[in-house]
Every structure is written in C-alpha cells, then in structure tokens.
C-alpha cells in the first residue's frame, strides 16, 4: 500500500496532467494519448487500496471534464482498451462502494460509463477490416490513419471481450460485445492445424506474419 501511494503521489506531484511519470527526471510525459492515463489507470487501485477520499476526488474530476477524448491523436487500440476503457469501467463499478453518490439507474448509468462508451466508440473503426480483427492504431477523431499497417499482435486482437462485453451489458448496446466476439472468433479460426496461434497476424488477410 505504501509503495502504491508513493508512486501515485509522485505522479500527482511531478507528472499530472501528463500520461506518465518519468522517474529519473521527475517530469511528466504523454505516452499513450494525452489523457492523463495514470490517473485513470490507477483509479480502481485507489478503491482497492481503500483510499476512498482520493477516489472520490478523481472521480469528480473526471466526471466534470469535457470532451476528454475528442482529440486528433493516434492511439494504441489495445492499450486504450485495457487501460482507459477498462479503467473507467472498473472505477464506475466500484464507485458506490467508495461513497460516490451514484446516478439513478446505476450501474447502467453514470459519467464514467458514458466516458468508457465514448472511448470504445472511437475505437470501433479499427475493427472495420476484412476479418473483423482490428488495426493496432486508431485516431480518436478520424478513425484508422491512412497507410496504417494491417499487422497486429495476437493480444491486440483477442483480448477485447472483457471490456467490450462489460460495456455492452451495462449500456444495452450489443455492438461492443459483438465486435469483440467477431475479432476473437476470427483469430481462433486462424489457428494452426495443431491449435496454436502465432504472435502477429495480417488483419486484412488472416495470414500469420510471425508464427
């Protein structure tokens, strides 16, 4: 607990509102998308560690932010899903336990859930491929960048079901779960004759580029 709080306080003191702390220079830098990544990534950990006061402060801070993800930036689809969509969903589900006065209809309503849905919607264009497996990079405002490579790692294809599935169940919008399932099934269909997966695949052809 002390180690976490030291690291977290170091981020607040030296790096916020940047994505991450540079520990040697004690400065901040944007690494994944200029959206205060560590603040969102650590929010559910604050709840687990029992720091409900700081959880509520950050929850309110995020709740009151406007157009947080409406930005002309290219981001990793995989990292944005596991750290931003996942972080927001986890914090949303822990909110009441941490003393947040949740909205009527919670857990199917709430500011962090709406943020997660906004981010995930901005990731969806990456999945518009021949196989349904996603490109590795997407622009949060304009979709897949021109000339983006179709080569994606296995983890960047098959791991969306946890976050996208939860998002669909909470919002009632099936598009996220269906999109994640299509990508995962397409990846599984591409396995070798002895049931193994490679580590990089062409999402347009379904052919492995690294076995």
pLDDT of 68: 80
Alpha helix (H) residue ranges in 65-198: 77-79, 86-94, 111-123, 155-158, 161-171, 175-189
- Secondary structure letter of residue 125 according to DSSP: G
CB atoms closer than 10 angstroms to residue 15: 21
Q: Quick check: 58 and 41 in contact, CB under 8 A?
A: no
Cβ burial 126-143 (10 Å sphere, 16+ → b, else e): bbebebbbbbbbbbbeeb
What residues have CB less than 8 Å from 89, skipping those under 6 apart?
A: 112, 113, 116, 163, 166, 167, 170
Q: Quick check: 15 and 28 in contact, CB under 8 A?
A: yes
pLDDT tens, per residue, the chain with 211 residues: 999 999 999 999 999 999 999 999 999 999 888 889 999 999 999 999 999 999 999 999 999 988 789 999 999 999 999 999 999 999 999 999 999 999 999 999 999 999 999 999 999 999 999 999 999 999 999 999 999 999 999 999 999 999 999 999 999 999 999 999 999 999 999 999 999 999 999 999 999 999 8
Helix %, strand %, coil % for the chain, to 5?
A: 50, 10, 40
pLDDT of 65: 87
Q: Quick check: 203 and 211 in contact, CB under 8 A?
A: no
């Amino acid at each position: 607990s002390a180690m976490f709080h030291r690291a977290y306080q170091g981020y607040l003191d030296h790096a916020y509102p940047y994505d991450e702390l540079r520990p040697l220079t004690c400065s901040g830098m944007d690494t994944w998308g200029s959206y205060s990544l560590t603040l969102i990534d650590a929010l559910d950990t604050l709840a687990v560690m029992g720091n409900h006061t700081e959880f509520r402060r950050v929850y309110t801070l995020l709740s009151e932010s406007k157009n947080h993800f409406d930005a002309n930036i290219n981001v990793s689809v995989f990292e944005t899903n596991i750290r931003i969509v996942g972080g927001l969903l986890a914090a949303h589900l822990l909110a009441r336990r941490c003393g947040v006065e949740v909205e009527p209809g919670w857990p199917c309503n709430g500011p962090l859930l709406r943020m997660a849905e906004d981010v995930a919607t901005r990731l969806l264009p990456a999945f518009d491929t021949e196989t349904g497996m996603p490109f590795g990079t997407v622009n949060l405002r304009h979709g897949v960048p021109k000339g983006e490579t179709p080569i994606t790692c296995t983890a960047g294809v098959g791991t969306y079901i946890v976050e996208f599935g939860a998002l669909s169940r909470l919002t009632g919008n099936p598009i996220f779960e269906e999109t994640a399932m299509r990508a995962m099934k397409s990846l599984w269909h591409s396995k070798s004759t002895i049931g193994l997966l490679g580590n990089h695949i062409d999402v347009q052809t379904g052919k492995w580029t690294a076995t």
